[in-house]
Amino acid sequence: MINALYQELARKISARQNCVVSNNEEWEIKHGEAIRQLLELLPHGSGIDGETTLDYDKSNRDRIVLLSEFHTMDGNGFYGRWITYKVTVTPSLVCGIDLTIIGNFGKHSDIKDYLYETYYWGFRQPIEWDTEKAGYRMVLDTI
């Protein structure tokens, strides 16, 4: 079955939370591993160089909260400072998802627009379970 990445991630978050409530440690671990694999499909590189983690306490079936880092570059191409930021994904009846990005961007406020576009595209990418690899993969040929 093909789903958008945000849909599968929300399903796995919900399933893991159900396992926590029912003390099903085996499946809690399995769903946690699936979440880790899904996070690996999110955009990375081009400044999005830090680790991206899920805030399990603030995420649920209707809200995904990620914590990540962006590595800035100066005009000479040298790395500058790290910017930590939070991405919150919520449902939208019009667009499928709404994104909110919060961080201490300072003079690098243009990065926020770049992150918004990049994550919006990334979360909406179609994915499916690849039985041969026993993992998720992006679906490139959906037509």
Residue 141, pLDDT above cutoff 80: no
Please state the rounded mean pLDDT for residues 46-60: 94
Please state the rounded mean pLDDT for residues 6-29: 97
Domain boundaries, the chain: 3-138
Residue 143, pLDDT above cutoff 60: no
Q: What is the pLDDT of residues 91-135, one digit of tens each?
A: 999 989 999 999 998 888 889 999 999 999 999 999 999 999 889
What's the whole-number average pLDDT of the chain? 93
Most confident of 78-82, 88-92, 132-136: 88-92
Mind giving me the DSSP string for the chain? --EEHHHHHHHHHHHHHHHHHTT-HHHHHHHHHHHHHHHHTS--BTTB-S--EE-TTT-BTTBEEEEEEEEEE-TTS-EEEEEEEEEEEEEETTTEEEEEEEE--GGGTHHHHHHHHHHHHHHHSEEEEETTTTEEEE-----
Q: What is the pLDDT of residue 142?
A: 54
pTM confidence score:
0.89
Residue 2, pLDDT above cutoff 90: no
